[in-house]
């Protein structure tokens, strides 16, 4: 049996080296069995980048962000598991990613921030060292095609290959419409987007 896949995305306090994760979304695939989870994480905002928080709509979605925007006291993680301590998040990440290949859009970004989380709580990340970037996978796949059919015409390969890659353009070239504004830059929404792109390549949906 192939190794498990864990499609993953995180929302963080920025893109700087000391960034912290505040939302995690994971879709684990073992054979034909698929499970998913997403949750907000207790976070320290001391070194947060306001622009990074704005991307994931921290002040509109995270329990702490919502409370701060309304002028209330900082909430504690709740009992329903949707807002958890960093220790609980570390254990969940360790369990869900164990033995799996991490798959995502630039998953090295997510792996880097998640690597610190289990280690802080004396756990060792046990995902496979070979992470899979769906954007790189898609570019290589599209490069091998003579054309890239999409609803509104064809992409010029030269433009599509220009760096930095535009995830929307790559996605549409595969025939996959990017997530709506409601789901974009939500951890689980972007994890499912990565999974859809992965399937579009590996199952030949763009042919």
> Which range marks the domain in which residue 160 is found?
134-202
Domain-located, residue 180 = yes
Q: Are residues 56 and 152 in the same domain?
A: no
First to last CA, the chain: 27
Which of 132, 154, 178 is where one domain is finished?
132
Look at residue 28 in the predicted model and tell me its pLDDT. Answer: 98
Domain boundary among 107, 132, 157: 132
Residues 83 and 10 in one domain: yes
| Residue 4, token pair as written in the block | 């498990």
CATH number at residue 39: 3.30.420.10
The burial of 55, by beta-carbon neighbours within 10 Å (0-12 exposed, 13-18 middle, 19 or more buried), is given as middle
50-84 pLDDT, tens digit each? 999 999 999 999 999 999 999 888 888 987 889 99
Domain identity same for 9 and 90: yes
Tens-place pLDDT, residues 120-129: 999 999 999 9
Are 100 and 140 part of one and the same domain?
Answer: no
Number of neighbours of residue 171 by Cβ within 10 angstroms: 22
pLDDT computed for residue 148 by the predictor: 47
Considering the domain architecture, whether residues 92 and 183 belong to the same structural domain is answered as no
Do 117 and 138 fall into the same domain?
no
For residue 207, being part of any structural domain is answered with no
Per-residue b/e over 25-48, b at no fewer than 16 CB within 10 Å?
bbbbbeeeeeeebbbbbbbebeeb
For the chain, which ranges sit under pLDDT 50? 148, 150, 206-207
Same domain, 152 and 108: no
> Are residues 173 and 81 part of one domain?
no
- Total number of domains in the chain: 2
Give the per-residue pLDDT at 206. 44
- Amino acid 97: pLDDT: 97
Boundary-marking domain end, from 77, 102, 132: 132
């Amino acid at each position: 049996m192939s190794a498990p896949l864990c499609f993953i995305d995180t929302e963080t306090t920025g893109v700087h080296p000391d960034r912290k994760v505040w939302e995690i979304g994971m879709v684990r695939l073992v054979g034909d069995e698929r499970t998913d989870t997403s949750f907000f994480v207790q976070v320290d905002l001391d070194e947060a980048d306001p622009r990074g928080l704005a991307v994931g709509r921290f002040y509109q979605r995270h329990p702490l962000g919502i409370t701060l925007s309304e002028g209330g006291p900082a909430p504690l993680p709740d009992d329903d598991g949707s807002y958890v301590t960093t220790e609980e998040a570390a254990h969940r990440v360790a369990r869900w990613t164990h033995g799996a290949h991490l798959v995502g859009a630039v998953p090295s970004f997510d792996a880097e921030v998640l690597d610190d989380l289990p280690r802080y709580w004396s756990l060792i990340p046990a995902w496979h060292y070979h992470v899979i970037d769906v954007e790189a996978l898609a570019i290589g796949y599209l490069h091998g095609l003579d054309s890239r059919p999409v609803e509104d015409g064809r992409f010029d390969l030269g433009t599509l290959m220009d760096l930095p890659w535009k995830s929307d353009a790559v996605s549409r070239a595969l025939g996959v419409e990017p997530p709506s504004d409601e789901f974009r830059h939500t951890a689980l929404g972007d994890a499912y987007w990565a999974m859809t792109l992965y399937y579009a390549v590996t199952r030949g949906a763009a042919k």
